[in-house]
Chains A and B, each alone.
Chain A
Amino acid sequence: MITPSRFFLFSTLLLVFLALTSLSFGAVSLSFLDVINGFFEDSEHYFTIHEYRLPRTLLAIVVGAMMALSGALVQGVIRNPLASPDVLGVSHGAGLAAVLYMTFLPDASTNWLPEVALVGGLLAAIVLWLLCGTSSSAIKLAITGVAMAALYGSAIDFVLLVKPLEVNNALLWLTGSLWGRGWPQLTSLLPWLLLIPLGLGLAKHLNLIDLGDDSAVCLGTKPNIIRLISLATAVGLTASCVAICGPIGFLGLIAPHLTRRLIGGRHQVLLPATLFVGALLLVIADLVARTINPPIELPAGLMTAIIGAPYFLWLLFSLR
């Protein structure tokens, strides 16, 4: 474990470095100077930097941070390293709701997509809770969640087959991509950023939940209420991201888990730190996805899945 101050210093520097790298590379590579000039309207790279790469990089940072926090909140209250919004099927539930909305109400405003995704995510969480109850084992919860996620995934495929609207666009969205996302998407995400302080505010209570419900009660907290607020916040964070980028797999699982290994389980440090780890991971994933074989862009969700799936399996097998 490393000390929190060292962690935050190092990860801030790394994030700045990666953000600048992300602004430099893509279909065309730009020098550092071009990147700086690109912030100003008279530069020939203004469009590339300001309209295209900057919002996309910012979005990767924000979405990565939100998904990681969402995962940390879920892992915090379920006391289960396998729990995360995507493993539990919340992301795909949100995705299914969004696809149904776009397919059957093609004229409706996409501004409502986050709310629709939120309803889908909440429903998925409730379904899981009905299937498993509150005191399920880690394995049972994970397996049920993965099964539900697969079910929602098939439902999405089915809808896209029978109602092939803009299948290409939807498919791209569903693999979890930041392609073509810009300032409008970033702006629509802003109000949902309020969920971040709400989540961070639970830190003290999440620590106590780690000690078991009996101890938590005796130390003055109400585990059931904290669990409810945490999960609702997590679903909100995930759904608002899914509405914009599609379900970016495994980010909510890996980021908090990695953070816990790096700086420990005290939530006053863990929660803020996981924001950084999530942001870093998604910026890297998006950067790699864009530059691995230009001009073809792979979805960032593919990258996170390539790292995430083996990580998940390793976790599953290392559970006693």
Chain B
Amino acid sequence: MTISTDALTVGYHGTAIVQSVKLTVPHGKITALLGPNGCGKSTLLKAFANILKPMSGDVYWENQPLQELSAKHLSTQLALLPQTQPIPEGIKVKDLVAYGRSPHTGFWGNLSTTDLAIVQSMMVQTNVDELADKLVSELSGGQRQRVWLAMILAQETPYLLLDEPTTYMDINHQVELMHTLRALNNQGKTVVTVLHDINQAARYCDHLIVMKAGVLICQGTPSEVLTTEMLQAVFDLKAQVHKDPVSGTPMCIVED
């Protein structure tokens, strides 16, 4: 059970953004997608989720091209937290989280007691259960981000694709989120997440994938990937790499 791509080229309106990417997402791990703004991280995630169709090459889920799988089946395997989310009008937090059960409910979307229990426990897990009866439109950005996370967790998929899940969150909630991701990983979920903070990625993730201008540059464990050469080549950054005194993982410190 895994996502892989072969010679994947994908983009918008005939313009290729991600080019000839070949990779396999390591199963059972937390993988971070890194790269400068506009390098195609979101585009790659959307291709993983079958939102964008490949211009050439393929994305595979369990060695089957995504196009051959039904949307319904895929929605029980992969869940995506998009980078930006519209704000639905007049929807309560608990209703939004319940929308995550859609792949499992019937025609009218009725929730069984099991569904309701799952919705409740996901709200607890992301710490939004106290907001359950509030309108989504009345929340702060960080709160909304956690509500959406609860929504895709309610989908109960083995794979999670997260596009910048820490945006809008204060540092405390960012750390909490990384712990939540680890807890989910320990429950057996595979996580692929776009992160902005390289040190956060190195500290909390098992595997890093680095992209630049739509091309895959390198991938591996944080200590394999996080080098001064890589930072220079990809981010155009003069930085030193040191050992994090607390976790022992590599961290970069900008020189100038």
Contacts and interface: CB of A to CB of B under 8 A. Distances in A.
Interface of A: 1, 79, 81, 201, 203-204, 207-208, 210-215, 217-222, 260-261, 263-266, 268, 270
Contact of B99 (A1, A211, A214, A261): A211
A211 B80 CA distance: 12
Contact of B91 (A203, A210, A261): A210
Interface residues of B, number: 34
A260 B71 CA distance: 30
A214 B85 CA distance: 9
Contacts of A218: 49, 51, 74-75, 78-80, 152, 155
B105 A222 contact: no
B28 interface: no
Contacts of A222: 71
Interface of B: 46, 49-51, 71-72, 74-76, 78-80, 82, 84-86, 88-92, 95-96, 99-100, 102-103, 105, 107-109, 135, 152, 155
B99 A220 contact: no
Given A201-B107, A214-B46, A220 B90 contact: no
Main secondary structure, interface of B, reads: loop
Contacts, number: 86
A264 B75 contact: no
Nearest to A200: B108
B102 A219 contact: yes
A212 B75 contact: no
Nearest to B45: A214
Given A203-B108, A204-B109, A219 B103 contact: yes
B91 A217 contact: no
Contacts of B84: 212
B179 to A, nearest CB: 24
A219 B75 contact: yes
Contacts of A210: 86, 88-89, 91
A144 to B, nearest CB: 22
A-B interface, 9 closest residue pairs, ranked by CB to CB distance from nearest = A220-B75, A265-B90, A204-B109, A264-B90, A210-B88, A218-B80, A220-B103, A219-B102, A214-B82
